[in-house]
Amino acid sequence: MKINPNVLRKKVIDMVVAKQSGHIGGAFSMAELTSVLYEDYDIGGKDKLILSKGHAVPIIYAVLHELGQISDDDLDLFREIDSPLQGHPDKLRLPLMDATTGSLGQGLSIAIGHSLGKDLRGEDGTVFCVLGDGELQEGQVWEALMYYPKTKLNNLICIIDWNKGQNDGYTKDFSIMYDNLEERISSFGWHTNLIDGHDMEQIRNIVNFNRDFSHLAEDDKPSCVILDTVKGKGVSFMEDPAWHCKVPTEEEYEIAMKELGV
Ligand SMILES: [Mg+2]
């Protein structure tokens, strides 16, 4: 099924407005990635998605709703106490999720566990792990990055949503990881690609290319795709780190829905 990223963005805004709480900016920066992964892969089946930047989960709830895997009634439970649709992914309450995340920095380690498990069981499928760029300030990310190339496994793709923002502002103001990200990840033994994270064809081509791991035999390295994205992408005034976790007013809601079209 074809998925329109702006349809997902509109659902995210509706969820956040309905509960007057939730994360828009980091959800919007990965709308195109989410669309490609759910169009092309068996996420929740043989392929796994570990959303390390767990606060962006509204975009996942939006795509699950678009695909008919969760209902209108389910969406109404967003951010309610004990609901399956927590503000961060909760695998126990919503088995469609492949991992419980939200405490940043842990997703890649969980994804590596799935990669090892798939290898031990001789299972097909790919493990996708999506990290935020602010999240790269967590040390555990670098422990995982330095370990995985040593496994020589090739069923995991690490994806970094390089949207330049985090809860507190611009990532460049908090970390040297803002610059030369490709070079830094490569130095840990990964094969890296930096692409336009809002171009679905580029995402599709590079993810499919890296999923055909045969070419990686040459350099024997795992794959890390860095998505050059804009936090809050799709609505002009939301393209600012201030929209990490902010609720639009009624007037802003109308403008946003108009800009998103569809
Ligand atoms: Mg970020």
CA dihedral 181, 128, 98, 74 (to 10 degrees): 90
- State which amino acid sits at residue 169: G
178 Cα–ligand 1 center, Å? 10
Q: How far apart are CA 42 and CA 45, in angstroms?
A: 5
Which three-class secondary structure state does DSSP give residue 135?
helix
163 Cα–ligand 1 center, Å? 5
Q: Is the pLDDT of residue 79 over 70?
A: yes
Q: Is the pLDDT of residue 184 over 60?
A: yes
Question: Is 0.85 surpassed by the pTM of this model?
Answer: yes
What is the rounded average pLDDT of the residues 203-210?
Answer: 86
Distance spanning both ends of the chain, measured CA to CA: 16
What is the rounded average pLDDT of the residues 50-73?
Answer: 98
137 Cα–ligand 1 center, Å? 11
Q: What is the pLDDT of residue 214?
A: 59
pLDDT digits (tens, 9 = 90+) for 95-118: 999 999 999 999 999 999 999 999
Which three-class secondary structure state does DSSP give residue 220?
coil
Q: How far apart are CA 21 and CA 247, in angstroms?
A: 6
Q: How far apart are CA 97 and CA 80, in angstroms?
A: 17
214 Cα–ligand 1 center, Å? 31
Q: What percent of the chain has pLDDT over 90?
A: 90
Which three-class secondary structure state does DSSP give residue 248?
coil
Phi-psi region of 117 (alpha: psi -120 to 50; beta: other; left: phi over 0): alpha
120 Cα–ligand 1 center, Å? 33
Confidence of residue 216 (pLDDT cuts 50, 70, 90): low
103 Cα–ligand 1 center, Å? 14
Q: What is the pLDDT of residue 165?
A: 94
19 Cα–ligand 1 center, Å? 23
What is the rounded average pLDDT of the residues 7-21?
Answer: 97
Which three-class secondary structure state does DSSP give residue 25?
helix
Q: What is the pLDDT of residue 213?
A: 63
Nearest to 66 by CA among 127, 8, 144, 149: 8
pLDDT digits (tens, 9 = 90+) for 114-167: 999 999 999 999 999 999 999 999 999 999 999 999 999 989 999 999 999 999
Q: Is the pLDDT of residue 43 over 90?
A: yes
Supply angle C-alpha 83, 89, 90, rounded to 5: 55
Q: Is the pLDDT of residue 16 over 90?
A: yes
Nearest to 224 by CA among 154, 119, 171, 170: 154
- State which amino acid sits at residue 156: L
Q: How far apart are CA 101 and CA 106, in angstroms?
A: 7
What single DSSP character describes residue 195? E
Pairing of strands 191-196, 223-228: parallel
pLDDT digits (tens, 9 = 90+) for 239-258: 999 999 999 999 999 999 99
164 Cα–ligand 1 center, Å? 5
Q: What is the pLDDT of residue 215?
A: 60
121 Cα–ligand 1 center, Å? 34
**Alpha-carbon distances of 94 from 22, 24, 215, rounded to whole Å:** 18, 21, 36
Mean pLDDT of the chain: 94
Q: Which CATH number is 5-260 given?
A: 3.40.50.970
Phi-psi region of 121 (alpha: psi -120 to 50; beta: other; left: phi over 0): alpha
Confidence of residue 219 (pLDDT cuts 50, 70, 90): confident
123 Cα–ligand 1 center, Å? 32
Q: How far apart are CA 135 and CA 106, in angstroms?
A: 9
What is the rounded average pLDDT of the residues 12-38?
Answer: 97
Q: Is the pLDDT of residue 217 over 70?
A: no
What is the rounded average pLDDT of the residues 176-180?
Answer: 80
89 Cα–ligand 1 center, Å? 17
**Domain residue extents for the chain:** 5-260
Q: What is the pLDDT of residue 155?
A: 93
